[in-house]
Amino acid sequence: MKRLTLLTLLFTALVFGATSKLDEKTGLVWQDNGVVASESRNYAEARAYCDALEVDGFSDWRLPTLRELYTIVDLKRDRPALKSGFAVRSDAWFWSATPYAGDPKREAWQLSFAYGEAEHVRMDRELRVRCVRSQ
C-alpha cells in the first residue's frame, strides 16, 4: 500500500510536477496541481472539495480565508498577480472561505488573480478553488 502511494506520488509528480507548494513565509501549504486551473465549483462545493481533498498524502486541506489568499498575491505582477514558485498560474476568480459580513448567508469573498482585486459575490457562482493547509 505504501509502495503504491509512493508510485502514485511519483507518477503525479512526473505528470503535473509538484502538487502542492509550501510558502515558508506564512507556513501555509497550497494545493498546486492541475485541478486548480481546470475545475470550478460553487461556494458550498468548494468547501466540501477542500475538506475531502487528499494531496501529497495529506487530508487536512480547507478553503483559504481572504487574508490567507492575499498572502500569495503579488501586486507587482499581473495576469496572474501570483507570487513566483507556483506551477499552476491561473488568473481566474478564486473562492475564499470568508463570508461577506453584509450578507453572510448568501455572499462570500472572491479574489481575482488577474490583478489581485477582491469582491463579494453570491455563493452560487462557480469559481476556481485552491485549497490550503497549515504546515
Partner 1 sequence: MMKQTIQSLLLLSGMLLAGEKLDVVLDERNHIYWQDNAESAQSSEDWEDAVNYCQTLTLDGLKGWRLPTFRELLSIVDFGRVNPAVLDAFVHTAEGTYWTSTPFAANASRAWTIDFRSGVTYYSYKSTNHAVRCVKEITEKTAKETK
CA distance 104 to 35: 27
The least distance separating partner 1 from the CB of residue 78, rounded to whole angstroms, comes to 4
| Contact present, 36 and 129 (Cβ < 8 Å) | yes
Q: Does 25 bind partner 1 (CB under 8 A)?
A: no
Which residue number, 35 or 82, has a Cβ lying nearer to partner 1?
Answer: 82
**Spatial CA neighbour of 107 closest among 83, 132, 124:** 124
From the list 8-16, 23-31, 38-46, 111-119, the region that binds partner 1 by CB under 8 A is 111-119
Site mask, partner 1, residues 76-95, x = CB under 8 A?
Answer: xxxx-x--------------
**Spatial CA neighbour of 69 closest among 26, 38, 105, 18:** 26
* Residue 45 backbone dihedrals phi, psi, to 5 degrees: -65, -35
Residue of 61, 82, 98, 130 interacting with partner 1 (CB under 8 A): 98
Residues that bind partner 1 (CB under 8 A): 66-67, 70, 75-79, 81, 98, 100-102, 109, 115-120
